[in-house]
Structure 1
Amino acid sequence: MTAAAAAATIWDRDRLGITVGSVVLIFLGAIEALAVTTVMPLVAADLHGEALYAVAFAGTLATGVIGMVSAGAWSDRSGPRAPLYTAVVLFIVGLLIAGIATDMYVLILGRLIQGLGAGGQVVALYVVVARVYPPHLHGGIFAAFAAAWVVPSMIGPFLAGAVAQFLHWRWTFLGVAVLTAVAFALVAVKLRAVDLDAHPQNGAGTEPAAVEGDARSGTTTGGIARRILLAVVVAIAAVAVGFAAEAPAPFGWPLALGSVLVIVLSIRPLLPRGTLRAAPRLPSVILMRGLIAGAFFAAETYVPKMLMERFDFTPTIAGLSLTAAALAWSAASAVQGKYGDRLGSRRTVLISTAGLLVALIGLVLVAATATMPWAVVVLWGIAGGAMGLVYPRLNVLMLAYSTPSDEGFNSSALSISDSTGSAVTIAVAGLLFFALPIAGSGFPAVFALASVVLLLAAIPGSRIGDGPRAGTVSAAPEPPRG
């Protein structure tokens, strides 16, 4: 590596526009993810769509899986430019449709399109990083991406609540759409002069060797088509679980159970062998990720809703619970980055599971007794800290159990498990919210479901091991889902 190459940064003149535009796209995606959770109770009430509240979240996560798989395959085949452009346009179109929606069905359509774009956008941006930035700058650009989540974590829920309270909830969608279009224009202009078909030199003057794909990793034409088809089936089934809440009583639960069965059968080829039976090591890492994400994000979906509907909090104040969780997540991730190997996987899982269980049981009690609403902010901060501790550990274990030939497949499997677990649990929570009211509300049933899913996550959590080799866990917080 030459001295000039060694002194290069992600902020150099030839990369500045791409860096700024990419970071802003990540920033706006983070703002939107946190904003939607804050304002959706108002949206559902305004559009008379309480029964479809959960679908507005689950559907976005479900179609995000399609976006991830499709953008990854498309980028491998023809470079990331077209997938990135398509994903950003879909994201903007989805936001615009949601922002002008006159009923809940139109809003959900916008959210489904938005999910396609959000999932594809992140994957395509990561490929852009691989093609534009030399390897020694990857740490810097990913650190910038992580930092782009920190500010939204601090201000996103409060800002979204203020916008909804003093302007209108529609601006949480329309405003982000306009700003995303501006950031996208900056990236597109700068990428026009960049060759995205070749990887930057790695310092030794050699290009990475091509690897022949196999059907399992999904890099053959048949493998790619099969993975995309399976992702579509999983997404449709996950959305169907959510719509079961609106189905007539005799059909709701059979529809939900049948859809979950379809998901189980369809998702198996997208995950490492043995995942659904919690086989030791990598399969258990992947399974735990899906279960613990489902427990956390299903509960988080209903935290601001409970504060606003049961305790008459304003949207601005209700958003503080999400802010507390996001800040605790970031702090715990930093602790994991410094002391993760010393703690080890077993203690990390034990501490995280215990902390999250305390938070969820506390929420059940608050919801059932309709007392101590401010305890929710503290409890959800504890939950965020627990997630920040365990999420990075699962990331590093996945890579530790991977080889160069299956890193892509395993990374994809981790994301698919995460999104699908969240989507299905949120959808089932929406069904329970109306089917099993306790003490006059469905909130206790939702938080009880999250507690059960968390206890299930402890089974693969006891089998994840410590990895075949030591690794350093990134201190960057894992992005929340929207």
Structure 2
Amino acid sequence: MASPGWGALFGREHGPVAVTLAAGVALHAVNVYLAATIMPTVVDDIGGSGLYAWATTVFMFASVLGSAAAAAVLGARGPRSGYRLAALLLAAGTIVCALAPTMLVLLIGRLVQGLGGGLLFALSYAMVRITLHEALWPRAMALVSAMWGVATLIGPALGGVFAQYGAWRGSFWGLLPFLLFFAFWGAMRLPGGKAGGSAPRIPWASVGLLGLSVLVISAASISSRIAVNVVGLLLAALLIAGWLRRERATTPRLIPATAFGPDARLRLVYLTMALLVVASTVEVYVPFFGQRLQGLGPLAAGYLGAVLAAGWTLGSVACSGMSHRSRSIVAAGPLLSLTGLVALFFAGPVHSGTVAAIAAVSAALLALGWGVGMAWPHLLTRVLQLAPDEDQDLAGSSVTTVQLTATAFGSALAGTVANVVGFSDTAGTGDLQSTARWMFALFALAPLAAVVTARYARRADPTAAGPRRG
């Protein structure tokens, strides 16, 4: 039986809530792409080129911390107050960035933005279960995940307009009214009060281990020295292993205890999600390849990278209503993403500005993004279905913890591959072609592994229709 249509989600009863949750993800995501677009102009204005990459590193580190605290904030403050706190934190960081006289102050603003944005991002996913009927979960998950695709179109355009005229601060000020609007009007659409019982504590040791792993691998990927990249990867892997060991043995946790039990389904779902996210992080270098290999201008190359996000959005929207075929869709998604990366291996390194060459790259990126997007809402819904009742808040926030961590690791791995192969500002065409070829080939291993994990998750499921629990 198909799930209810979009009209049910956007109707009078659920529409304001759905818009508020979608806005929570969109406000975080637009800020990500806007900041990436204006940073060259920021450095030209206030200096601090040596700290350029840290604007992203600090933000990603803080986002993981914010998302990890979401379950505790939701339990302590409830949906309305928790959402408002997150939006106001993001607004405060945005004001600091807009006023920043130096790069150091900007980094402080980015830290606060990351905390608020990561918390808002995680809360928006977690509150789908609280505020909407289960039949609407796949549609709602598709809607909130589609906001990344929307942000990829809006963020660069908004930042680019202000950067074009050297008024980069205006892009931050332009976000502020929307943040304040949803901090007050949007938050009022959500339930007040908080759940009964004591609020879950923040697992500071687990948060520290996970956040430190993100910080280490992100910082190491900036270096052009292979030894630094390798040491960073190994140290981050050890920190992740330590985090998982602690998650298994102690409470409170960042992911439900079910993921560590004899039933393998939930951990296989998490692993499939992480692998698909890692595969999508090749988009970081697509604009650069678009300019240097396909001969596109900065704006056109930026939107070439947005094709992947557009595919993710379209795949989520098109397949979210097919709950009766969710297992087949989850199995097919990694295969389509794998096909896209194989196509990129052949089309991406071609040094040509012809329409055919650009169309081939675009089609491959669309397939890669569509494969992730078609599986995504069903994977997220499955996490909520497999988690026990007492871990439902944790299940919702764990989705964003996994996604943000996988994004940080994937982006850092892409930088490591590029540095090892010979990527640099002065690299010739041959070096860039080699970088593209190696990157697309190695990252194809992620959806290939996801094909296996999705298949095993399906085999481990004894049911045919997917019950509400287990």
Question: TM class by shorter-chain length?
Answer: 0.7 to 0.9
What is aligned with 1:470? 465
2:448 maps to a residue whose letter is L
TM-superposed deviation, 1:292? 1.4
Tell me, in whole angstroms, the C-alpha distance in 2 between the residues paired with 1:332 and 1:136: 21
Determine if the alignment matches structure 1 residue 458 to structure 2 residue 463: no
Given candidates 289, 297, 318, the residue that maps to 2:273 is 289
What is aligned with 2:336? 355
TM-score normalised by structure 1 residue count = 0.73
Between the aligned residues of both structures, percent identity stands at 23
What is aligned with 1:440? 431
What is aligned with 2:352? 371
Q: How big is each residue's C-alpha offset from its partner over 1:45-83, in whole Å with a ceiling of 9 and x where there is no partner?
A: 986759964x65455344223212323202312434554
What is aligned with 1:28? 27
Tell me, in whole angstroms, the C-alpha distance in 2 between the residues paired with 1:102 and 1:430: 29
In 2, are the aligned partners of 1:238 and 1:263 still within 8 Å (CA)? no
Tell me, in whole angstroms, the C-alpha distance in 1 between the residues paired with 2:120 and 2:335: 35
Q: How big is each residue's C-alpha offset from its partner over 1:138-186, in whole Å with a ceiling of 9 and x where there is no partner?
A: 8798887678667546555445444544565554444223542344354
For structure 1, the 5+ residue unaligned runs are 1-6, 200-209, 214-218, 474-482
Given candidates 174, 189, 204, the residue that maps to 1:228 is 204
1:331 maps to a residue whose letter is L
Tell me, in whole angstroms, the C-alpha distance in 2 between the residues paired with 1:121 and 1:469: 35
Aligned residue runs from structure 1 range 365-444, under 5 A: 365-371=346-352, 374=358, 375-437=360-422, 439-441=430-432, 442-444=435-437
Tell me, in whole angstroms, the C-alpha distance in 2 between the residues paired with 1:440 and 1:76: 52
Note closer, same or farther for the CA distance 1:10–1:332 as it changes in structure 2 (3 Å cut): closer
Tell me, in whole angstroms, the C-alpha distance in 2 between the residues paired with 1:236 and 1:94: 21
Does 358-367 or 37-46 show the bigger shift?
Answer: 37-46
Aligned residue runs from structure 1 range 239-258, under 5 A: 239-246=215-222, 249=225, 250-258=227-235
Note closer, same or farther for the CA distance 1:380–1:169 as it changes in structure 2 (3 Å cut): farther
What is aligned with 2:193? 197
TM-superposed deviation, 1:34? 4.2
Does 373-382 or 422-431 show the bigger shift?
Answer: 373-382
Note closer, same or farther for the CA distance 1:107–1:425 as it changes in structure 2 (3 Å cut): farther
TM-superposed deviation, 1:26? 4.5
Note closer, same or farther for the CA distance 1:95–1:405 as it changes in structure 2 (3 Å cut): same
Note closer, same or farther for the CA distance 1:141–1:368 as it changes in structure 2 (3 Å cut): closer
Note closer, same or farther for the CA distance 1:158–1:67 as it changes in structure 2 (3 Å cut): same
What is aligned with 1:330? 313
In 1, are the aligned partners of 2:51 and 2:103 still within 8 Å (CA)? no
Note closer, same or farther for the CA distance 1:275–1:73 as it changes in structure 2 (3 Å cut): closer
Question: Which secondary structure state, in structure 2, belongs to the residue aligned with residue 454 of structure 1?
Answer: helix
Does 451-460 or 227-236 show the bigger shift?
Answer: 451-460
Tell me, in whole angstroms, the C-alpha distance in 1 between the residues paired with 2:194 and 2:71: 16
Aligned residue runs from structure 1 range 138-217, under 5 A: 152=151, 155-165=154-164, 170-187=169-186, 196-197=192-193
TM-score normalised by structure 2 residue count = 0.74
Question: Which secondary structure state, in structure 1, belongs to the residue aligned with residue 422 of structure 2?
Answer: coil
Tell me, in whole angstroms, the C-alpha distance in 1 between the residues paired with 2:99 and 2:15: 34
TM-superposed deviation, 1:418? 1.9
Note closer, same or farther for the CA distance 1:187–1:106 as it changes in structure 2 (3 Å cut): same
In 1, are the aligned partners of 2:68 and 2:398 still within 8 Å (CA)? no
Note closer, same or farther for the CA distance 1:362–1:161 as it changes in structure 2 (3 Å cut): farther
Does 453-462 or 111-120 show the bigger shift?
Answer: 453-462
Tell me, in whole angstroms, the C-alpha distance in 1 between the residues paired with 2:322 and 2:132: 29
2:269 maps to a residue whose letter is V
What is aligned with 1:299? 282
What is aligned with 1:477? none
Note closer, same or farther for the CA distance 1:275–1:440 as it changes in structure 2 (3 Å cut): farther
Q: How big is each residue's C-alpha offset from its partner over 1:364-383, in whole Å with a ceiling of 9 and x where there is no partner?
A: 44554433562332221111
TM-superposed deviation, 1:300? 1.6
TM-superposed deviation, 1:283? 1.2
Q: How big is each residue's C-alpha offset from its partner over 1:412-458, in whole Å with a ceiling of 9 and x where there is no partner?
A: 33332222111112122223322322632344444344223333333
Tell me, in whole angstroms, the C-alpha distance in 2 between the residues paired with 1:465 and 1:402: 16
Tell me, in whole angstroms, the C-alpha distance in 1 between the residues paired with 2:335 and 2:134: 38
Q: How big is each residue's C-alpha offset from its partner over 1:262-308, in whole Å with a ceiling of 9 and x where there is no partner?
A: 12211441445696999732211111111211221x21222223324
Does 415-424 or 250-259 show the bigger shift?
Answer: 250-259
For structure 2, the 5+ residue unaligned runs are 1-7, 248-253, 424-429
What is aligned with 1:203? none
In 2, are the aligned partners of 1:62 and 1:235 still within 8 Å (CA)? yes
In 1, are the aligned partners of 2:57 and 2:219 still within 8 Å (CA)? no
1:72 maps to a residue whose letter is A
In 2, are the aligned partners of 1:161 and 1:314 still within 8 Å (CA)? no
Tell me, in whole angstroms, the C-alpha distance in 2 between the residues paired with 1:160 and 1:365: 32
Tell me, in whole angstroms, the C-alpha distance in 1 between the residues paired with 2:295 and 2:165: 16
1:290 maps to a residue whose letter is A
In 2, are the aligned partners of 1:90 and 1:114 still within 8 Å (CA)? yes
Aligned residue runs from structure 1 range 99-138, under 5 A: 99=98, 108-124=107-123
Tell me, in whole angstroms, the C-alpha distance in 2 between the residues paired with 1:307 and 1:45: 24
Given candidates 292, 296, 316, the residue that maps to 2:299 is 316
What count of residue pairs does the alignment treat as equivalent?
437
Tell me, in whole angstroms, the C-alpha distance in 2 between the residues paired with 1:134 and 1:395: 14
Determine if the alignment matches structure 1 residue 344 to structure 2 residue 327: yes
In 1, are the aligned partners of 2:70 and 2:397 still within 8 Å (CA)? no
